[in-house]
Structure 1
């Protein structure tokens, strides 16, 4: 469709209807790079004099600025409402003129504003994410209306942001600290109990004198906002996931925050299903975790049912209404629980009934 030669006669750039732009070396005639430049046919290409920068115009309505040495897209110019058919570049690249099927000619002028490639890449990723989200929302709407549309059943809750990336890094650091601490104590147990015990990691010491490595990892995850938890877990490599599941086995055994433990476990199993199934080393830990979680959840279910029945019976006997919500996530067997009943017009202002969980 179009071609141009750099001012130093070192590079030849060609544009094609296959949506690609190819860079050729004129010394040996070899292809340096093939770039997927646009979503439609590339109609025109032109070098900036004195450099290896070049511009491309395409039927996808975009004009792009490229670096021919690093093979990177520097900038994407959007403004035309139709196919861009032609472009002309000023001698030093300060002005670019483009002609389009929308019957307009646009002149793009170079500014003094600093341009950062990372910011441009982030903008492009955000645009792709927004388009994908809009497409999935439209597909969901058609599916709910009875249309025959394939909709993804499993999808990420959102995109990774700076906050979720930092949260994932904090989780990875907590896992590393916990693994290192456990390795020190395992080595100490193998050698000699009469020796001086290893010093506690400064990070764990700062968390608390009685905080174990497993508790520190759990507290780190519990501090992450619920909306960012899954994206933070996606940042973890699979090696960290394996270590995290070893700590989760201890959480399940001691029934620490079973709700959060189950949520993390189900998400990791969904995301890393193939690797986990293929890893035989993880099977004993998963089986033990299943046993601990099942018994712990059954105890919580029983405690919840007992408290609801007791509260209903007490309310019926006293003609009270239960106005205060309660949580059973931390109630365990052998613990006495106080249920506060609502104010009754015929009774005292406050009434408390204690029930022992067995």
Structure 2
């Protein structure tokens, strides 16, 4: 589906996954209306800038929005660090503040990359396992070859391993930045939430699970309570976390 608004943007969504696929820029004021053609080949939008624009579908591939937004996050952090270098010295709390901020930005970006990569690798592996089970059910028995990158870990444990390497101070900030900026779609929040149910069996990871669940609930509360597939997971997590307390 498409949406427009006061942000001057035309957005193309995957409504099944709550995922922003593409953002189109072109208007210079609020976009008031849009219409999709009967055949779905183009979209027409009207704006307060007194323009009507037509957006045609092409065969040119595009990057999923989360990749673009990840780049924007990276550039924003670099810009912030650059600007801090030009703050007058009397405004800085101490001489090492800029270096510390730059180091923190770098750590956050590294954590961001590791979370996205882990979720992508785990998703591909789960699809491979499902395909193997289908072939096995049809009588095509073949030995499953796990992904060597995962070091023999399950999909859930592989994602947990990536999150465990992130410092406690950086974890919440990284997750908030990823999901608030929509670098990761709501579908990835659901995957992460489903993994936390498995992690609660490890007593050493209870604090980590609570932090992750708290961030996801803060950012996606309205979507989670309105998504039927999320309710069973939330109910199980509630019982498990209360029992652990």
How many angstroms does 1:189 deviate by? 2.3
Aligned to 1:196: 142
Aligned to 1:262: 210
Q: Is the 8 A contact 1:178 1:216 kept in 2?
A: yes
Q: Secondary structure at the match of 1:294?
A: helix
Q: Is the 8 A contact 1:255 1:293 kept in 2?
A: no
Q: Is the 8 A contact 1:168 1:232 kept in 2?
A: yes
RMSD: 3.4
Q: 1:284 to 1:125 in 2, by over 3 A?
A: farther
Aligned to 2:159: 217
Aligned pairs (5 A) from 1:69-218: 122-123=79-80, 161-192=105-136, 195-205=141-151, 209=152, 211-218=153-160
Aligned pairs (5 A) from 1:18-29: none
Q: Secondary structure at the match of 2:146?
A: coil
Q: Secondary structure at the match of 2:233?
A: helix
Q: 1:254 to 1:182 in 2, by over 3 A?
A: farther
- Structure whose alpha-carbon radius of gyration is higher: 1
Q: Count how many residue pairs are aligned between Structure 1 and Structure 2.
A: 151
Aligned to 1:290: 238
Instruction: Give the distance between the partners of 2:79 and 2:212, measured in 1 at CA.
Output: 28
Instruction: Give the distance between the partners of 1:120 and 1:222, measured in 2 at CA.
Output: 23
Aligned to 2:169: 227
How many angstroms does 1:163 deviate by? 2.4
Larger relative contact order (C-alpha < 8 A, sep ≥ 6)? 2
Q: Is the 8 A contact 1:214 1:247 kept in 2?
A: yes
How many angstroms does 1:213 deviate by? 1.4
Q: Which structure has greater strand proportion?
A: 1
How many angstroms does 1:119 deviate by? 8.7
Q: Which structure has greater helix proportion?
A: 2
Instruction: Give the distance between the partners of 2:222 and 2:187, measured in 1 at CA.
Output: 14
Q: Is the 8 A contact 2:112 2:174 kept in 1?
A: yes
Q: Is the 8 A contact 1:253 1:289 kept in 2?
A: no
